[in-house]
């Protein structure tokens, strides 16, 4: 696993003050409301948060896949490409550059592989199609269907699918959940991406299969040195996979830092509360767990000020009035909380 | 609630549920899915028995048999009623089953799908009362108000519809409905798995509190080991339709006596980056319950498997007081 990368290397991706909103009939939903983070080359960045925290929308924005009525309203998504930074947020979603980045340089492993594969084409055909679309990533030589099929078989072998020559001709519904997710990973890797976005890749599968898939992702990450953004709501998965962690709540980054600091020295009250509220495999049973009071607010009813203040045990008067900025609070960690600094976002 | 004196409220013996697989124009039966294939356990009054396993292991089918939502193929489900009789739910005719339905209730997994969106909370929570003969609307309203208060919701909410509530609140509504008829046994099938982490703890705490207050007995079905561990007095582990291990919670986690249980525990990702384990990941996949392997169902994935495991199916036997395991070598393995 990569150690937390020092500032020396240049980031692969820089998200700066990203805002995505959905103009619905009943009002405006600010799904992502000023999110900033970096991804270093070869790093596994864990993004953790509960439903509605904007983690999936942020990832869709990085791929320019936000569907109407959703829209990137402001912010930058700078991606390093051939030595220079391009701002994905400014690229036309259907333009040639974006189509080259999407699937080619940034690939996605979706949560539900059953829904992601077409049921009327074999999984092999679908991966061959992706390889042919981005064939220049496999070198100068023009690739034919047969070459692409050979590559697919090789990928299947890499992701631990037994009998790969037969399995490429299977339909997604003929594969078990674990195999289907492995095939999805093969498809994501098919164009040698530099950044892989895994959106809850193990949420829909069983715990013993999850352990296999996580092991596989770790192995492939080490082999290909691909950067991974790993999105999940499961703190256990984050602790096992990520080297650096971003904690999100209601579209904003609450805290970010190296995985060990986040789990052993969390600075933001939300991170602390989240870590306390999960039952583990040790500790006392059948006693009341510490809870985060209240519920996630309805998207139309975003609280003013810090989004977490109505549920925060340490909330102060100021938290309801101003939004704290995300600033360094230790040499390694950043937090957006007035407990640690006084700077508010500009209104 | 661990008194040794507690009597069994429910005793399941040799429970089986096979679903036929039919093929062809004549729908000829060509095989069976052995969804539940030999499950034995007891649930003592006032305790929580956790039933845990991966998808397809038969935990939900077993719980549905106990509720008689489906009819079991074979086996006995002995239930001690409020008036002290012991009846076999597996064979009870519908007429005699009906009055017992008030005593055995269910909490569902999906807080969005299990409430009628066209009914107010009053009607959703009050319907089991109406079905059980509480025809006076004032009486029902009073009881629903009391139930909503019990689960931590404001009684004023009763005239609203389910869509106005969050997942956690809806799960509270589902719990209020399950409690409407003063049940003794509550079967909860994955009651917190659809909830966010911060809300999950609230609902688990509520279930523990209600159990203590109302002397409820829980059969808690779930796939999440840490949740089951937190809430259960004893835990039963299922694999391919069979019970493979049953033990008090501390004994099960302290010293598992079945290789599958041990593998399941190792597979749970620990929420601590300093504990990064890679060893002992279980290979292979769960076999199909339509064509289970010979001998012990777990032998193709078991790292301790011997010739005997391939040939001879192990029985569930008591390896320590109250600790049962379906493994030939339960006593000798260091897991």
Mean of pLDDT values over B79-90: 94
Helices (H), B82-136: 94-97, 121-131
A137 is a domain residue: yes
- Rounded to 10 degrees, the C-alpha dihedral B75/B76/B77/B80 comes to -170
Q: How far apart are CA A276 and CA A270, in angstroms?
A: 10
Q: Report pLDDT for B2.
A: 47
Task: Tell me the CA end-to-end span of chain B in Å, nearest whole number.
Answer: 29
Q: State phi, psi for B210 to the nearest 5 degrees.
A: -65, -40
Residue A51 contacts B where some CB pair is shorter than 8 Å: yes
Best interface-test mutation with B: which of A281, A292, A307, A310 has the largest number of B CBs within 10 A?
A281
Q: Report pLDDT for A112.
A: 80
Q: For chain A of 347 residues, list the mean pLDDT of each consecutive stretch of 10.
A: 54 96 91 95 94 91 93 96 92 93 92 86 95 85 89 92 92 90 92 93 85 90 92 93 96 96 97 91 88 84 93 95 96 96 89
Residue B238 contacts A where some CB pair is shorter than 8 Å: no
A98 is a domain residue: no
Please check the confidence at residue B1 and state whether its pLDDT lies above 50: no
Q: How far apart are CA B273 and CA A243, in angstroms?
A: 9
Q: How far apart are CA B176 and CA B183, in angstroms?
A: 11
Q: How far apart are CA B320 and CA B130, in angstroms?
A: 47
Question: The domain spanning residue A166 has which CATH number?
Answer: 3.40.50.300
Q: Give B43-66 pLDDT, tens digit per residue.
A: 999 999 999 999 889 999 999 999
- Give residue for tokens 């092991």: A215
Domain positions in chain B:
8-103+185-284, 113-182
Tell me the pLDDT band of B221, cut-offs 50, 70 and 90.
very high
Q: Report pLDDT for A8.
A: 53
A72 is a domain residue: no
**Neighbouring residues of A341: CB distance < 8 A, sequence distance ≥ 6:** A324, A325, A327, A329, A335
Give the residue among B129, B42, B43, B45 at the shortest CA–CA distance from B84.
B45
Q: Report pLDDT for A9.
A: 79
- Secondary element (H or E) of residue A126: helix A123-133
Q: How far apart are CA A325 and CA A322, in angstroms?
A: 9
A21 Cα to chain B: minimum distance (Å): 21
- Rounded to 10 degrees, the C-alpha dihedral A129/A133/A137/A142 comes to 90
β-partners of residue A102 are A106
Q: State phi, psi for A193 to the nearest 5 degrees.
A: -70, 155
β-partners of residue A230 are A46, A198
Q: State phi, psi for A343 to the nearest 5 degrees.
A: -85, 130
How many distinct helices (H) and strands (E) make up chain B?
Answer: 10, 12
Residue A278 contacts B where some CB pair is shorter than 8 Å: yes
In chain B, residues 274-333 whose CB comes closer than 8 Å to chain A: 274-276, 278, 281-283, 285-286
Our count of domains for chain A comes to 1
In chain A, residues 66-85 whose CB comes closer than 8 Å to chain B: none
**B18: three-class secondary structure by DSSP:** strand
Residue A222 contacts B where some CB pair is shorter than 8 Å: no
HEC string of B141-158 equals HHHHHHHHHHCCCCHHHH
Q: How far apart are CA B2 and CA B5, in angstroms?
A: 8
Q: How far apart are CA A276 and CA A122, in angstroms?
A: 45
A306 is a domain residue: no
CA B255 to chain centre: 22
Q: How far apart are CA A86 and CA B87, in angstroms?
A: 72
Pairing of strands B8-23, B28-44: antiparallel
Q: Using an 8 Å CB-CB cutoff, list chain A residues near B267.
A: 207-208, 210-211
Q: State phi, psi for A173 to the nearest 5 degrees.
A: -75, -5
The encoded tokens of residue A254 equal: 């609450």
Q: Give B99-144 pLDDT, tens digit per residue.
A: 999 999 999 988 888 999 999 999 999 999 999 888 899 999 999 9
Q: Is B77 within 8 Å of B65 (Cβ atoms)?
A: yes
Query: CATH homologous superfamily of domain B8-103+185-284?
Result: P-loop containing nucleotide triphosphate hydrolases (3.40.50.300)
Q: Report pLDDT for B279.
A: 61
How many distinct helices (H) and strands (E) make up chain A?
Answer: 11, 12
Q: Report pLDDT for B297.
A: 95
Q: Report pLDDT for B191.
A: 94
User: CB B204 to CB A281 under 8 A?
Assistant: no
Q: Is B258 within 8 Å of B244 (Cβ atoms)?
A: yes
Residue A325 Cα distances to A253, A255, A328, B54, angstroms: 9, 10, 10, 43
A76 is a domain residue: no
Residue B334 contacts A where some CB pair is shorter than 8 Å: no
**What is the Cβ-side half-sphere exposure of residue A115, based on CA atoms within 13 angstroms?**
6
The encoded tokens of residue B241 equal: 């339709």
A139 is a domain residue: yes
Torsion sign (Cα): B187, B189, B194, B199: positive
The encoded tokens of residue B45 equal: 């009054």
Please check the confidence at residue B96 and state whether its pLDDT lies above 90: yes
Q: Give B161-216 pLDDT, tens digit per residue.
A: 999 898 899 999 999 999 999 999 999 999 998 888 888 999 999 999 999 999 99
A281 is a domain residue: no
- Give residue for tokens 């339960």: B330
For the CA atoms of chain B, what is the radius of gyration?
A: 21
A175 is a domain residue: yes
Out of A259, A278, A295, the one facing B273 most closely (by C-beta) is A259
The encoded tokens of residue B1 equal: 């609630």
Q: How far apart are CA B6 and CA A7, in angstroms?
A: 63
ipTM of the complex: 0.85
């Amino acid at each position: 696993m990569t150690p937390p990368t020092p500032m020396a290397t240049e980031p692969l991706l820089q998200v700066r003050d990203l805002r995505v909103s959905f103009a619905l009939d009943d009002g405006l939903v600010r799904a992502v409301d000023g999110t900033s983070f970096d991804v270093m080359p070869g790093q596994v960045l864990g993004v953790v948060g509960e439903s509605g925290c904007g983690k999936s929308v942020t990832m869709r924005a990085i791929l320019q896949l936000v569907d109407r009525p959703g829209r990137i309203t402001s912010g930058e998504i700078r991606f390093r490409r051939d030595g220079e930074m391009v701002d994905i947020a400014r690229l036309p979603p259907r333009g040639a550059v974006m189509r080259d980045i999407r699937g080619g340089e940034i690939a996605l492993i979706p949560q539900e592989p059953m829904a992601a594969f077409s049921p009327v084409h074999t999984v092999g055909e679908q991966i061959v199609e992706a390889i042919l679309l981005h064939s220049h990533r496999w070198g100068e030589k023009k690739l034919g269907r047969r070459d692409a099929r050979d590559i697919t078989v090789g990928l299947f072998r890499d992701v631990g699918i037994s009998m790969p020559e037969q399995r490429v001709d299977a339909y997604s519904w003929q594969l078990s959940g674990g195999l289907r997710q492995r095939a999805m990973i093969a498809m994501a890797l098919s164009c040698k991406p530099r950044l892989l976005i895994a959106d809850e890749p193990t949420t829909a599968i069983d715990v013993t299969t999850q352990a296999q898939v996580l092991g596989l992702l770790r192995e492939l990450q080490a082999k290909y040195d691909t950067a991974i953004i790993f999105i999940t709501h499961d703190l256990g998965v984050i602790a096992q996979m990520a080297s650096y962690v971003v904690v999100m709540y209601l579209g904003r980054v609450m805290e970010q830092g190296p995985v060990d600091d986040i789990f052993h020295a969390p600075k933001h009250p939300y991170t602390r509360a989240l870590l306390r509220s999960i039952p583990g495999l040790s500790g006392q049973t059948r006693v009341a767990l510490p809870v985060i009071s209240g519920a996630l607010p309805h998207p139309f009813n975003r609280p003013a000020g810090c989004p977490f203040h109505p549920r925060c045990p340490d909330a102060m008067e100021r938290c309801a009035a101003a939004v704290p900025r995300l600033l360094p609070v230790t040499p390694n960690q950043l937090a957006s909380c007035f407990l640690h600094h006084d700077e508010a976002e500009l209104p | 609630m661990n008194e040794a004196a507690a009597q069994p409220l429910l005793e399941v013996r040799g429970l089986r549920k096979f679903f036929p697989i039919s093929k062809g124009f004549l729908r000829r039966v060509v095989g069976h899915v052995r969804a539940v294939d030999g499950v034995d356990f007891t649930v003592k009054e006032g305790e929580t028995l956790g039933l845990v396993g991966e998808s397809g292991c038969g935990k939900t089918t077993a719980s549905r048999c106990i509720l008689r939502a489906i009819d079991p193929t074979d086996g006995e489900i002995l239930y001690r009623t409020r008036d002290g009789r012991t009846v076999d739910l597996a064979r009870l005719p519908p007429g005699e089953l009906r009055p017992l339905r008030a005593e055995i209730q269910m909490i569902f997994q999906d807080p969005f799908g299990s409430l009628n969106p066209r009914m107010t909370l009053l009607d959703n929570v009050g319907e089991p009362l109406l079905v059980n003969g509480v025809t006076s609307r004032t009486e029902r309203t009073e009881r629903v108000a009391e139930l909503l208060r019990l689960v931590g919701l404001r009684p004023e909410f009763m005239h609203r519809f389910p869509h106005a509530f969050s997942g956690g609140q809806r799960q509270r509504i589902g719990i209020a409905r399950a409690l409407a008829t003063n049940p003794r046994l509550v079967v909860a099938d994955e009651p917190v798995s659809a909830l966010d982490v911060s809300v999950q703890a609230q609902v688990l705490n509520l279930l523990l509190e209600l159990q203590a207050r109302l002397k409820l007995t829980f059969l808690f079905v779930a796939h999440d080991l840490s949740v089951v561990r937190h809430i259960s007095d004893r835990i039963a582990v299922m694999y391919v339709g069979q019970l493979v291990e049953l033990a008090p919670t501390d004994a099960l986690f302290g010293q598992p006596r079945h290789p599958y249980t041990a593998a399941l525990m190792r597979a749970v990702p620990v929420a601590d980056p300093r504990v990064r384990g890679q060893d002992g990941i279980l290979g292979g996949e769960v076999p199909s319950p339509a064509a289970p392997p010979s001998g012990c169902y777990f032998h193709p994935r078991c790292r301790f498997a011997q010739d005997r495991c391939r040939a001879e199916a192990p029985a569930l036997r008591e390896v320590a007081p109250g600790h049962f395991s379906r493994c030939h070598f339960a006593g000798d393995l260091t897991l």
